[in-house]
Structure 1
Amino acid sequence: MMHRTRGLQPIFAGETMANGMMNEGIPETPALAGAGERFEGLSESLFEIVWRRRWTVLLASVAALAAGVCYIQRATPLYRSTSRLYVEQSMPRILRDFEEAALSRSTNYLYTQAELLSSTPILAEAMARGDLERLQTFAPSTNKMMSLRKRLDTVVGKKDELISVAFKSPHPEEAAHIVNTVVDAYVTFHSQRKRNTSAELLRILTQEKTVRDKELNERLQAMMDFKQKSESLAFGANQDSNVILRNLERLSMVLTEAQLATLESKSFYAVAQKMADDPTGLRQFVEAQRARSVYVTAATEATALRSELKRLQRERADYLHQLKSDAPAIAALNVQIERLEAQLADLDKGFAVSQLAVAAQEYEANLEKEQELAKYFEQQRQQAVQLNSEVAQYTVLQSGYDQTRKLCDILDERIKELSVIEETGALNITVLETAEPALEPCEPEKAKVMAMALALGLFAGTGLALLREWKDQRLRSAEEISTLLALPVLGAIPSVRALRNGSAGHERRIQLDPDSREAEAFRTLRTAVFFGAPKDEARRILITSAAPGEGKSTISSNLGIAMAQAGQKVLILDTDLRRPMQHKIFQLDRQTKGLSAVLAGQMSLEEAIERTGEENLHVLTSGPDVPNPAEMLNSESFARILEQVTARYDRIILDSPPVIAVTDPLILAAQADVTILVLRAESSTRRVSMQARESLASVDARVLGVAVNDVRHKAGRYGYYSGSGYYYYSYGADGRKKKKRERSVADDRTEAPAGALSGNGEPAESAPESPQTMARGTGLWRGGPQAASRDDE
């Protein structure tokens, strides 16, 4: 009886279906490629996966925390001492009054000072002055200077622009001593450098002052001699009305400024030549002359290189606490540090050369400007002489005298300032905080280590959980099964608990314990089958599974009993001719009668069908073992038997072998009206289930849906029996309705006449045995508690 029907919407066991409303057909077999695509799109939330694998995440977190505790206990505590400095940017002025205002603080200058604190001259002076080589801090190091440089930390504040000098050591007193010694060496170096610069400038300005004083005396003597010789000047000279003389006077002032600029550039060039061999000192001197923009080159590249060098040195110092000095990571950092130091050295050399070139060019430019102004001044002077020889000559003498006197006054003022700086050092470094021994260690930071350990443990645990989830191919949820196979889930059978008398009785649980949640699940499956397809299109029901041990025989027997209790005439036909089970479930003899005997012509069909303890339910066992089960099931004789029993019964349940094991279920699926595929929760795999689905599709089987077996109550994954708020009702001995923690689907029974086999093989009426009577059978379903509905296959 082969029928083609329209598609059916998925029917899940938990859905309530109104009486009398029948679905119009059975779902067509969809393209399995589409099912695979939908499966690829199926994804559980990360929380669900982590919760399912929570013990993996918990163990990984505990292991990480234990590792963190061990690290804290074994790590050497380090104490940090810090000193804070305020460095004011200032250098000796050369000539101009506005140079002091030009010495504004700059970030580059502070970073230069921070780098200077960790330079070789400062550290060498500190090692010698404080006798640092004998400290226990440097005892394990062979190169103590390098160890001090790596572990010394100098940082410029982003908001306060203060320089912090810090050092970490297992010995707090030594850490404070090292920091204070380095700061003292820096202050001494800075003071000495400033004295040397001031002394050089003082020498140059003193020489220039001597020359200018001599010139001033000569100009004064010339004025006096000219005034004595010229009687017209005895009563004074009115120069205010003479334009030429006023221009001459203004030109004289401009020439004076040009001469000062030439002197300034000459002095700067001389100092730069003196400091050419000291790029660091030259850079400080040049940065101090902010007003002289022609002397300043962009220090951005040098600052960036020094910052990167400092970062790499701190990173290498941190690695040395954890790794050996010959570790690959430390070797790679050493290569980068050496490369940056070489670049800085090349940059400093180039800086010195470029600054000398710029200073020489400016000096030559100022000298040329002075000479041009002198020529123009001479032309104006000659014009004034021609206009009024004596007045003009005197004015020239007066202008030259005033010019020289102003220059001498400026030189005298600068010489006095430089003399004070040379004597006192004029230190511009203030130690705001001296280093003190730390009372508590700064490393390891217990809270930080434990937080990182916990985060690492959670991350690793989650990764392991995801890995295990990815490798686990078992089917877990009804949604996953439905999406993977593109089939509706007809019902979910929970794990069967043992009866009160200690026996399992899972094969006939609906008969022996009708008020149990397992019995209610089978009734739910029955209702789904009733409403899943019209009766005439679902009379031959094939029950099969993907692999052995998934509970197809148990579901076949309980589903048959449930349909019989609903008033249906039901025949359970055990077509598993290789490993039959129905004769064990109903305690029947298959060695003398059964399907194989009928097919062999040894007895009639009426003689082979046997009664059971349930009204309207009969069983045709597999019969004696045969060597060719597939051929027998594919024979015309078997087809005729199916036609005969179809005419006599409302439902024929075919209990077949697993799909993957043999070809028998494929032969039966082609002859059945509908097929129900049984899968075991947390046991059936995706690959095997898909193979079974594809095999059924290859014979154009009408798969009604999937029955999920052995759903554990604690899993909470299917939603049917996991405390999701559903209930079912049963009646106690007193007739009162009791509400239990399950959900019940309406019995939805179809009225049909009941009967047992008569002499001619037709069903006849027979009083059903009670569940209590069936439970008192001789040794039936004895034994301890079992897992869920598992076949003895």
Structure 2
Amino acid sequence: MSQQEEMQNTLAPYDSGEEGISIAELLHIFRKRFRWFVIGLVLVVGLAVGYLQIAIPQFESQVSVLVEPIQRSSSFESLLNVSASTTKIATEVELITSRKNIEYALGTLDLASYRNADGMDYRSKDVLGDVKERIVVSTVKDTNIVRITVTDANPAFARDFANALATSYDSLLTGIAKNSKTAQREFIESQIPINDRELSRASDALGDFRENSDIIQLTDKSSLLVEQISYYTLRLEPLKLQLRESEVFIDTYNASLKQAGVEGVLTLDQIKKDSVVMAKLSDLSAWKTELTMYESLSNLAGNASTAAPSTTLDSSSRIYVINSAINQVTKELLNRVADLTRSYANEANTQAIVQALTTEVGIQVLQQRGAVFVEELSQLPVLERRLSELQRDVQIYEAIGLKLREMLEEVKLTEAAVTGNVTVIDAANLPLNPVSPNKLLILAVALLLGAAIGLLLTLGIEALDVSLQSEQQIQKIVGNDVPILGWIPMMKVSEKDKYPTLSVYNDPLSFESERFKLIANMLYNKTDKKVFSITSCAMAEGKSTIIGNIALALAQMGSKVLIIDGDLRLPSMERYFRLKHREVGLVDFVTKKTKLEECLIQPFENTPTLHLLPPGNAPLVPAAIFSNPRYIQGLQYLEKLYDFIIIDAPPLDSASELLSISKHVDGLIITVRAGISSKGSLYDLVSNLRTANAPLIGFVFNGVIPGATSSYGYGYGRNYGYGYSAYRYGYAQGQGTAKKKKANIRRRSTSWYRKRYKLDLKDRGKINSEQFEPVLAFGEHAEYRTLEAWAGEHATTHSTVFPEARTSGFTDSPAAKVEEKPVVQPVQDAVKHDGLGVIERDPDAVGKK
């Protein structure tokens, strides 16, 4: 197995934590961060309420109209069509919000009579605002019914403007329909006098020619050529008029659309340039050329009149095929033009465009065919040619005059048939209640949105909080194979206590003391382990407090306990026991070969089984101390004399000697400070320890607030502690106090926790600042002079003093008991009675619960 695979397997327990989050954890996070949820909810609801206070009520008025398409209202054939049908009115609906229609509607209103909430009239554009944005046009599906809705702060203006829009809209559509027919009529009327003058001129010229020449009749060939030329000319003139009429209609319609604000209108020339349209016109020209040749032959045979021949189906199969092809091409051309003008054109405009295109093709074909006969006529004698031209002109102008009068009558009928396009179904009424702001809807949405934002804010704050808050978070990082030895509640620093946070000494029967004793019993039951090292993720996370309380608890249980202050950079155990720094300690034992009896001190007078090995002078390389063979031999020697050795190890992020310390201990314990230790620092620490094969045996969760920052509660331990005290003070009173404290604690937040933590650190340096002189555990003044003598006197069932310990080279004095002398300290408060220790040392209590 490669080194990389071994590393992955080593770190696997830390990376294989359960993904996601359970409902119970969500509820716990929600309860813990409930304040942020309330902040998010109140913030959104407050904004909604503020908006409702400043929002101006808007009133809505609606008018329903029936809209007829322009081509139906302007078509003479539509008057005879009584069948009900619906036609697309997209263009007509678009014209409702056109600038021309809005301006016309506003022009019909007395804007000075309408005022806003500030009392200013609507004549000012700033007060009136953009009315187009307040107009909503909707259509009823599969009908020609249109609803025009106007919203405004003034209910009267909303009603009147909606009705004015319907009226001006009717006038606008009617004007567009009439304008096209009026333009056609005026054009035809202007052409009739011109044609009459040309007819009169042609007739006079023919009469003068006959009077002044000897030719009265044309030859048969000349007559035939004149008839053909006249035939094509008669067909050309109506087509030209028809083309002109279509162009006038298209130009007038496009101008109306542009005036109404419609964009993207294509001209006739732009449509001709379309590749598909050009291909269809080319095909149409070919088919019409062939059809014209057949019609010319029929005309020569006397089967056609001087007027335009009928385009109905001929009995000839070829003419039938040609006509069918022409109809098909015309249909395809109509579909293409409809696609190009779909966004703005109606049916009448599309048909006019197709008619103009096909008429132009027909004119080109007839002109090409007529040019052939004109060229042939030019080869005849001059007099015959002149006579034929004069007769042709007279015939043409006579035919054109008749056609113009027929078209004039038809256009007059169509113009007279133009009616209104818009019929009001339901007029707009005065609105009584505002439509916006909708208070109930806004408040409901604000509640939902506020709850969502509050929940997201809660989860976001929780995600930003990288501190460890619960035992489950620790287990997710380190895995379930490393147990939690116990948790310690946050302790209050009191000025009355001689040793702050030393609960086992200050109040042996308190709940906090029982938590420390529980951890001490966990270590006591590990009979195969005697040397422990306690470290933390970072500084000031409570490892000194845990070491002092656990060591004192083990000593009260009758075990011989030694505390080694292994934090050579920032030693804290002497300061924790309120002892002055001693220059002789662990460093001197290792480097100067000082005797252990000259280094060990006794922190408490009434606890002779608890000793402290201070660090002494600071070394240059702290890591070299713990890798020195004398340190290793000395630790092995002390292990045979003491039941438990607890080493205060520095955090790994501040000192690398932790790894050297961990090589020579039976178990390594990590202190995790609730709400202070970060997830990343814990993960890095455990990863490094696992990589170094350190004997990690468990964690201590310190500084827990029951019921607030974690799922812990006082539970049985609290009730039992107060129950035990109730033997002297009363159970009911203790239980009530516990419930009251628990309720108060639950109202605490993480921010309060951190403030309390910083305050405790600050106060801890101010309370009981006086320090005592350290007292050696062995020597002339002490009860025992050597370690062997002391160990033999205090032998316990947990460990046995080995005989070889008496011959160790670390001491030169024999085991001898000296005269008992009291340990004197400058300041000594009254020592509290350790009731539990008395019971354990009572011979009559052995073997009993």
Identify the TM-score tier after normalising by the shorter chain.
0.5 to 0.7
Residue 160 and residue 720 in structure 1: after superposition, are their counterparts in 2 closer, same or farther (change >3 A)?
farther
Counterpart of 1:123 (choices 102, 105, 116) is: 102
Question: Distance in 1 between the 2:356 and 2:596 partners?
Answer: 127
- What are the residue-to-residue correspondences of 1:236-385 with 2, within 5 Å? 275-279=249-253, 355-359=351-355
Using the TM superposition, give the Cα deviation of residue 99 of structure 1 relative to its aligned residue in structure 2, in angstroms: 4.4
2:155 is aligned to: 172
How far, CA to CA, are the matches of 2:80 and 2:514 in structure 1?
Answer: 100
CA 1:779–1:714 in structure 2 vs 1: closer, same or farther (change >3 Å)?
Answer: farther
- Residue 74 in structure 1 maps to residue 48 in structure 2: no
Q: SS where residue 132 of structure 2 aligns? A: helix
* Closer/same/farther in 2, CA of residues 143 and 722 from structure 1, 3 Å limit: same
Aligned to 1:141: 125
Q: Give yes or no for contact 1:679–1:709 (8 Å, CA) kept in 2.
A: yes
Give, in angstroms, the shift of residue 543 of structure 1.
0.9
The two structures have a TM-score, normalised by structure 2, of 0.56
Cα offset for 1:726?
8.1
> Which residue of 1 is the match for residue 789 of structure 2?
760
State the partner residue of 2:427: 434
More off after superposition, 472-481 vs 560-569: 560-569
Inter-CA distance 266–460: structure 2 relative to 1 (3 Å threshold): farther
- Which residue of structure 2 lines up, in the alignment, with residue 84 of structure 1? 64
Q: Are the counterparts in 1 of residues 62 and 150 from structure 2 also a CA contact under 8 Å?
A: yes
- Looking at structure 2, the residues matched to 702 and 433 of structure 1 have their Cα atoms a distance apart, in angstroms, of 89
1:183 to 2:166 alignment: yes
One-letter identity of the residue aligned with 2:50: C
> Quick one: which of 654, 665, 683 aligns to 2:658?
665
**Aligned equivalent of 1:307:** none
- Residue 847 of structure 2 aligns with which residue? none
Partner of 2:631: 638
Which structure has more relative contact order (CA 8 Å, sep 6+)? It is 1
* SS in structure 1 at match of 2:250: coil
Q: Would you say the 8 A contact 1:275–1:281 is kept in 2?
A: no
Aligned-pair distance for 1:674? 1.4
1:571 shift after superposition: 2.7
Distance of 2:13 and 2:442 partners within structure 1: 48
Residue 680 (structure 2) pairs with residue 696 (structure 1): no
Q: Which residue of 1 aligns with 2:712?
A: 720
Hey, what's the Cα distance between the residues in 2 that align with 1:716 and 1:163?
63
Aligned partner of 2:519 in structure 1 is 525
One-letter identity of the residue aligned with 2:695:
R
- Give the counterpart letter for 1:69 in structure 2: V
TM-score normalized by structure 1? 0.59
Aligned residue number for residue 112 of structure 1: 91
Cα distance in 2 for partners of 1:143, 1:597 equals: 91
- Shift in Å at residue 505 of structure 1? 5.5
Which residue pairs with 1:575 in the alignment? 566
Q: Do the aligned partners of 2:535 and 2:648 also contact (CA within 8 Å) in 1?
A: yes
Note the aligned Cα RMSD (angstroms): 5.5
Q: Is the 8 A contact 1:572 1:654 kept in 2?
A: yes
Query: Are residues 640 and 759 of structure 1, via their aligned partners in 2, closer, same or farther at CA, if it must alter by over 3 Å?
Result: closer
Distance 1:278 1:35 in 2: 83
Q: 1:365 to 1:478 in 2, by over 3 A?
A: same
| Structure-2 separation of matches of 1:81 and 1:185 | 17
Structure 2 equivalent of residue 219 of structure 1: none
Contact 1:154 1:164 in 2 (8 A): yes
Whether contact under 8 Å (1:574, 1:622) holds in the other structure is yes
Separation of aligned partners in 2, 1:667 and 1:713: 36
Residues 63 and 427 in structure 2, CA contact (< 8 A), matched pair in contact too:
yes
Match of residue 614, structure 2, among 615, 618, 622: 622
Give the deviation of 1:679 after TM superposition: 1.6
After superposition, the C-alpha distances for 1:367-407 in whole angstroms (9 at most, x for unaligned) are 9xxxxxxxxxxxxxxxxxxxxxxxxxxxxxxxxxxxxxxxx
Aligned twin of 1:62: 42
- Uncovered stretches (5+) of structure 1, i.e. residues with no partner: 1-27, 205-264, 284-291, 305-343, 368-410, 743-755, 768-775, 782-793
Matches within 5 A, 1:382-781: 427=420, 429-451=422-444, 465=458, 467-486=460-479, 488-498=482-492, 503=497, 507-529=501-523, 535-536=527-528, 538-564=529-555, 568-586=559-577, 591=582, 594-596=585-587, 598-599=589-590, 600-605=592-597, 608=600, 610=602, 612=604, 617-622=609-614, 624-628=616-620, 630=622, 631-697=624-690, 699-717=692-710, 719-721=711-713, 729-730=720-721, 732=724, 734=727, 760-765=789-794, 778=829
Q: Which residue pairs with 2:816 in the alignment?
A: none
Aligned residues, how many? Answer: 580
Q: Partners in 1 of 2:433 and 2:583 — Cα distance?
A: 91
**Distance 1:496-1:76 versus aligned 2 partners, 3 A rule:** closer
Deviation at 1:626, TM superposition (A): 4.1
Counterpart CA distance in 2 for 1:276 and 1:689 is 82
Q: Is the 8 A contact 1:132 1:178 kept in 2?
A: no
- 1:70, distance to aligned residue in structure 2 (A): 3.5
User: Sequence identity of aligned pairs in percent?
Assistant: 22
**1:174 CA drift (Å):** 2.0
- In the TM superposition, what whole-angstrom CA distance separates every residue of 1:447-493 from its partner, at most 9, and x where no partner exists? 44445555665565555555544443322232322332446242343
Measure, in 1, the Cα distance between the counterparts of 2:127 and 2:648: 85
Amino acid at match of 1:82: Q
The answer on whether the counterparts of 2:520 and 2:550 sit within 8 Å (CA) in structure 1 is yes
> What is the CA–CA distance in structure 1 between the aligned matches of 2:182 and 2:618, rounded to whole Å?
120
SS at match of 2:251: coil
8 Å CA contact retained: 1:138, 1:147: no
What is the alpha-carbon distance in structure 1 between the residues aligned to residue 332 and residue 183 of structure 2?
Answer: 22
Q: Which moved more, 1:445-454 or 1:82-91?
A: 445-454
Matched residue of 1:645: which SS?
Answer: helix
Q: Do the aligned residues in 2 keep the contact of 1:272 with 1:282 (CA within 8 Å)?
A: no
Give the residue type in structure 1 aligned to 2:351.
Q
Per the TM alignment, residue 585 of structure 1 is displaced from its structure 2 partner at its CA by: 4.8
Structure 1 distance, partners of 2:600, 2:555, is 19
